[in-house]
A and B are shown apart, each in its own frame.
Chain A
Amino acid sequence: MTTADALDHDRVNALRDFGNDSGELLAAMLADFLVEAPQLVTEIEAAMSTQSHDAAARAAHRLRGITGHIGATRLGDIASQVEIAAGTGFPVGSAALVAAARVELGLAVTAACVLLAQP
């Protein structure tokens, strides 16, 4: 797990090359990700600490959705597992899963920042 492979390069290139090739859609999606993903992971953590299963599942579902736009595949997979775990009452191991989401979020955020910084 590294920043370099936190985002799927094919998906990033598909977004960058889409439309008028100016990368507007990619930039917009990366910016949205930087705003929404940290909030959603925080929501998941808060919901888990209060055992609010529905709130955690909703936040994880939304997180999965936005990771799909920019190809944050690993974070999306973890979000998917968190959604399932929340739906089954947070079985043993869920805390590690949510912690993994936080770690992976850090990698994906850094990768997104690096991409946005590129001309």
Chain B
Amino acid sequence: MTIDAVDAVPTQVLIVDDAASTRRFLRGVLDYCPEFEVAGEAVNGAEAVEMADSLQPDVVLLDLCMPVVDGSSALGSLLRVAPNSKVIVLSGMSASREEPLLAQGATGFVPKGLAPFDLLERLGAIVGRPVTLQRSAPEQQRPDDPEMPKIDEPLQARGVICDDDPMVRRLLGQVLANCDVPVLAETDGVPALLSVIELAQPEVLVLDLWLEGMTGTSAIPEIRKLSPRTVVLVYSAYEEWKDNALAAGASAFVAKPNFERLEAEILRLTRAIR
């Protein structure tokens, strides 16, 4: 095998990070670099050891702060099950932790938060391969990507909160969490809300009616136009505005303060969606 042929083989990388967005960022960056290929993704140290054992990757990109088994606890096991792998610690933790990790057998330490080019350059320098970039679009999500929604999976209802009171927003977030509805965004006024609705297309909006800049009632038709599938649940102290809100297109009205009733309404509405 010539040196060129060896260089043509991409370095197999196992990404280990509990944060889905970080795994997506790393995959997104590595997919554009022909010198690297993502062999797999693990979400904690225990899973990383299992995957490293079966995949025998050239490089393990290892986060430190993770649930179940953290990165530093997994490092020894990783090197035991995949002795030819280079473990590069990729962490937002202090660089003062670099030396002990290198002493434990890590090959390198890269801080989180680097821009894509800088990250690739650092990784290339550590593994001893100059990196290039390909200009073609990366592969989309793999069919076996656990993050990829399956067609037959029930729809996950997602929520947006709009209320000018931060304490109420916090409590509404808790109510939505109780209903298994993740909160995509919280806003305290109509202009930001309309942007969020248009972009996020949430399944559920919990909307206060008394807002700075524009009343919630007058915003409802615009919201329905921007995202017709969004269920608008008005949560307001002004019960006399109920009829107007429903006439404007709200799906339901709950008078403040009544979090139990609100939770019941959210469950009822999201059951219909799911």
For the complex, would chain A's binding face be called helix, strand, loop or mixed by DSSP majority? helix
Which A residues touch B113, using CB under 8 A?
65, 68-69, 76
CA distance A41 to B15 in the complex (A): 25
Closest to B173 in A: A42
A43 to chain B, nearest CB (A): 9
Contact B22 A65 (CB under 8 A): yes
Pairwise interchain contact B20-A117, C-beta atoms closer than 8 A: no
Q: How far is the CA of A59 from the CA of B31 in the complex (A)?
A: 28
Q: Known interface pairs A109-B185, A109-B196, A117-B195. Does A61 touch B133 (Cβ–Cβ under 8 Å)?
A: no
Interface assignment of A97: CB less than 8 Å from any CB of chain B: no
Inter-chain pairs besides A66-B21, A106-B187, 14 sampled, C-beta below 8 Å: A18-B117, A19-B28, A22-B137, A24-B138, A29-B24, A32-B20, A32-B24, A35-B182, A42-B174, A62-B19, A69-B113, A76-B113, A110-B195, A113-B195
- Docked Cα-Cα span, A109 to B25, in Å, equals 18
Q: Give 18 pairs: A residue, B residue, CB < 8 Å, sorted on A.
A: A19-B28, A24-B28, A28-B24, A29-B24, A32-B20, A34-B199, A36-B19, A42-B170, A42-B177, A42-B183, A46-B170, A58-B65, A58-B67, A62-B18, A65-B92, A66-B21, A113-B199, A117-B199
Within the assembled complex, what's the spacing in Å between the Cα atoms of A30 and B173? 21
Chain A contact patch, size range = 35 or more
Most chain B Cβ neighbours within 10 Å, of A19, A68, A109: A19
Q: Smallest distance from the beta carbon of A1 to chain B beta carbons, Å?
A: 15
Q: Hey, which bits of chain B sit against chain A, CB under 8 A? A: 18-22, 24-25, 28-29, 31-32, 65, 67, 92, 112-113, 115-117, 133, 135-138, 158, 166, 170, 173-174, 177, 182-188, 192, 195-196, 198-200
List A residues at the B interface (Cβ < 8 Å): 10-11, 14-15, 18-22, 24-25, 28-29, 32-36, 38-39, 42, 45-46, 58, 61-62, 64-66, 68-69, 76, 99, 102, 105-106, 109-110, 113-114, 116-117
Q: With A29-B25, A113-B199 as known contacts, state yes or no: A20 contacts B166, CB within 8 Å.
A: no
**CB-CB nearest 10 A-B residue pairs:** A68-B113, A32-B21, A14-B115, A113-B195, A19-B32, A42-B173, A18-B116, A25-B28, A66-B21, A69-B25
